[in-house]
Amino acid sequence: MAAVSAIHDDPERKRLFRTSIIFMGLGHLLQLKQYVKGALFALIEILFLIFIPTLFGKVHGLITLGDPKPDLPMIERDHSMFMMIDGITVLAVIFLFFVLYALSVKSALSDYDERKLTGKNDSGQNIFSELANKSFPILGLMPALILVIFFIIVPLLFSALVAFTDYSAPDHIPPNNVVNWVGLENFRTLFGGSNVWAGAFGRVAFWTILWGAAATVTCYAGGIIMATVLTQLKIRLISVFRSIYILPYAIPIVVSMMIWRNLLNGSFGIVNRTLLQLGLIDKSSMIPWLSDPTLAKIICIVINLWAGFPYFMLLTMGTMTSISGDQFEAAQIDGASNYQTFRYITLPQVLYQTMPLIIMSFTFNINNFGAIFFLTGGDPIVSDSTLTGAGGTDILVTWIYKLTINLLKYNYASVIAICIFAILAPFAIYNFRRTKSFKEGEI
């Protein structure tokens, strides 16, 4: 430890640090005499300096988002969105450059410390052997890091930054018009600045949370009930019943929801026609299964229960098989009823095993685009639907689709996407922290 402390207090080491900070690779060239490694690092900075005018031009474009040029042909005007993407990409490149800059300084100091401790003077000629041995983990992760930055981080930043612009129809769609930065104006509009938009956002957000909770609870409860019935009541041909119940889950959600949409159509649906033929309703009192806002929401939850409970049924049945039979035998000896056995033995252990999956199911249902869109299309139309595009059964993710595809309100859609992220991120982090790999320090 004393030797290491002495190295860190070495004036020569401090001078190497300052030299490496001044220019990438300079410390390798002047003090360590590692000409190959130093030249490679210096070449990186030279290339960066050559392209600085272009890079900073892109950053300037990100700041201004272009200038209005109505006299120019459409193809020659500034496209604000392209300029934003270019600017964010350039910032990612600059970030990677500074990461490499820090690695070059760290490399110089590490080589100096190793030279002091071992007494070996590495000229840097065997740089490729060193990269293959010492830096292999970094080299192996570098392609993945670059892909993550440019194909995940950059698109996410672009989507988030749109929330702070006026990118929307009809006046701010490039290249016909430029887009401007508006700060938090879109957030103020959705959170109370406009009664119509704030009302629509509050209504859709409330229904989204209610939908996520109801869809999760009903599917989970339905799955437990069916698993208990099939397991404890000793039904014959249990495999046949299990196969029948899994059919709704096996059918693609698009197909099943579209079929239910036609079955429940208020005008020509088979359900209403059957009730009409049975004399339970007449033509003047056809049941508006999907055209009444309240009834349509109930139908969404019920149909989702039909489609989703088989997953939890199979999951619960698998969990039940892992419960020791000695516990059930002890309960029978003590005179416990089937209900008491289920309540005090089966249910607690099933809940313990499946609680993370319940949370994950809630986050999935919050974003369950298919169950809503292909069943109701977000309809029926309500009072503010014409202006906001939000129907009676729209959840946030289906509303985002309508805002971007139908109304071209990309700024509001981005705000809603940020809100969804704020809602779901805590659940995702909670589930991640509960994983075995995280607890054991593997990730």
Q: What is the pLDDT of residues 315-360, one digit of tens each?
A: 888 888 888 888 888 988 888 888 888 889 888 988 888 888 888 8
* Domain coordinates in residue numbering, the chain: 1-182, 194-441
Question: By three-state DSSP, how is residue 67 classified?
Answer: coil
Res 3: pLDDT: 47
Average pLDDT (126-130) is 61
Which residue intervals of 233-346 are DSSP H helices? 238-250, 253-263, 270-277, 293-321, 325-333, 338-341
Find the Cα–Cα–Cα–Cα dihedral 200, 203, 205, 208, rounded to 10°. Answer: -130
Give the closest residue to 44 by CA, choosing from 100, 123, 87. Answer: 100
Find all residues with CB under 8 Å of 103, minimum gap 6, and list them: 138
> Taking the model in full, what pTM does it have?
0.87
3-state helix, strand, coil in the chain (%, to 5): 75, 0, 25
Question: Which residue type, as a one-letter code, is found at position 436?
Answer: K
Segment 347-357, tens digit of pLDDT:
898 888 888 88
Report whether 393 contacts 372 (CB < 8 A): yes
Average pLDDT (183-212) is 94
Segment 69-99, tens digit of pLDDT:
888 898 889 999 999 999 999 999 999 999 9
CATH topology of domain 194-441: MetI-like fold (1.10.3720)
Give the closest residue to 174 by CA, choosing from 186, 161, 165. Answer: 165
Give the closest residue to 175 by CA, choosing from 101, 102, 72. Answer: 72
**Averaged confidence pLDDT in the chain:** 89
